[in-house]
């Protein structure tokens, strides 16, 4: 069988593909929606200019960090990607490994320097420590954590779940009393619900993606859940985890009705999640992952409803 060529021969375009621009854009949009829909109303009013600048730097830091993590993930995953997705394997074929590392170092450097600027402006070391610790975890995802049972999945889920808390840290990095005060409000309850639900659905998607990539991961020596358990047990676990996801969505729906009086808004993520279950029952693993991503996007539409 002939080898499948990459979808592009341009090193510049390959570099853009490596950073996953749509995923990075989703982070930027999520940060904006979380802040506009929940945090600004909770703190009572518009952000002053200096906090707007801090938030802009914080958005740049998180977007650059995520882009750099995507790049280094592809750098380390060349062997299995040539099996799992040969037409989208660019490192060593379209863009050199040295160029890939340079791109990662540049993006990670932008993230860290931005976090230092935030720390100086906010007079708090918390934002800098936050980005550095998260950067170390994401850099080590492929070479260390993904190779160990469930560790990589949990790190990615926590990385997504922490995003609303990062937005809060940008606005209230020195006063944890204000954090407690906000979490006792309606907006704070919605924020915590978003943290838990987005992190949980991301965990399900990471397990699903590992199921999809089990052949290449097995040959590369990764100890992912589908490699260790096999497809049948993995599918059975995903069914159970998705049923528990419905419990969480039910709680969210109840909160949406009683706290914010928006009974139909949860349909934005409940309908895609229903499609996840249908495709899981049909054993269409690629479609399961796609609908899980749409479920996360539905959460953003839910937040957008607080603004319009």
CB 202 within 8 A of CB 241: no
pTM across the whole model: 0.90
CB 93 within 8 A of CB 74: no
Q: Where are the domains of the chain?
A: 11-304
Alpha carbons 256 and 47: distance in angstroms, whole number: 26
Closest by Cα among 159, 176, 160 to 168: 176
Continuous H helices in 123-224 = 126-139, 151-161, 163-171, 176-183, 186-212, 214-219
pLDDT for residue 1 is more than 60: no
Q: Give the pLDDT confidence score for residue 26 in this predicted structure.
A: 92
49-76 vs 11-18: helix crossing angle, rounded to 10: 110
Residue range 58-100, pLDDT digits in tens: 999 999 999 999 998 888 878 777 777 777 788 888 889 999 9
Q: Give the pLDDT confidence score for residue 307 in this predicted structure.
A: 67
pLDDT for residue 3 is more than 70: no
CATH of 11-304, one of 1.10.600, 1.20.1640, 1.25.40, 1.10.3470: 1.10.600
Residue range 14-65, pLDDT digits in tens: 889 999 999 999 999 999 999 988 888 877 777 888 888 999 999 999 999 9
Alpha carbons 146 and 153: distance in angstroms, whole number: 7
Residue with the larger pLDDT of the pair 183 and 134: 134
Q: Identify the band that residue 308 occupies on the pLDDT scale cut at 50, 70 and 90.
A: low
Residue range 117-128, pLDDT digits in tens: 999 998 889 899
**DSSP conformation class of 5:** P
CB 201 within 8 A of CB 296: yes
186-212 vs 151-161: helix crossing angle, rounded to 10: 150
Total number of residues shown for the chain:
308
Point out the least confidently predicted range of 105-109, 212-216, 277-281: 212-216
pLDDT for residue 178 is more than 80: no
């Amino acid at each position: 069988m002939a080898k499948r060529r990459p979808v592009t021969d341009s090193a510049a375009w390959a570099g853009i593909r490596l950073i996953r621009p749509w995923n990075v854009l989703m982070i930027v949009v999520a940060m904006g929606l979380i802040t506009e829909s929940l945090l600004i109303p909770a703190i009572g009013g518009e952000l002053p200019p200096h906090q707007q600048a801090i938030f802009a730097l914080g958005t740049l830091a998180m977007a650059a960090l995520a882009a750099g993590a995507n790049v280094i993930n592809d750098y380390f995953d060349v062997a299995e990607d040539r099996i799992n997705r040969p037409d989208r394997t660019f490192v060593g074929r379209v863009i050199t490994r040295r160029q890939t590392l340079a791109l990662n170092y540049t993006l990670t450097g932008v993230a860290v320097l931005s976090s230092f600027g935030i720390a100086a402006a906010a007079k708090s070391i918390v934002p800098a420590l936050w980005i550095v610790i998260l950067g170390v975890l994401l850099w080590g995802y492929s070479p260390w954590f993904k190779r160990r049972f469930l560790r990589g999945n949990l790190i990615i889920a926590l990385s997504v779940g922490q995003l609303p808390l990062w937005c809060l840290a940008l606005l209230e990095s020195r006063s944890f009393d204000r954090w407690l005060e906000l979490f006792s409000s309606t907006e704070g309850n919605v924020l915590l619900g978003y943290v838990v639900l987005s992190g949980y659905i991301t965990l399900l998607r990471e397990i699903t993606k590992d199921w999809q990539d089990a052949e290449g991961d097995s040959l590369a020596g990764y100890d992912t859940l589908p490699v260790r358990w096999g497809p049948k047990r993995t599918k059975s676990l995903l069914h159970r985890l998705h049923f528990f996801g419905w419990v969480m969505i039910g709680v969210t729906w109840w909160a949406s009705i009683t706290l914010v009086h928006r009974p139909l808004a949860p349909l934005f993520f409940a309908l895609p999640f229903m499609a996840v279950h249908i495709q899981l029952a049909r054993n269409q693993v690629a479609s399961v992952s796609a609908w899980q991503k749409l479920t996360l996007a539905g959460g953003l539409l839910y937040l957008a409803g607080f603004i319009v």
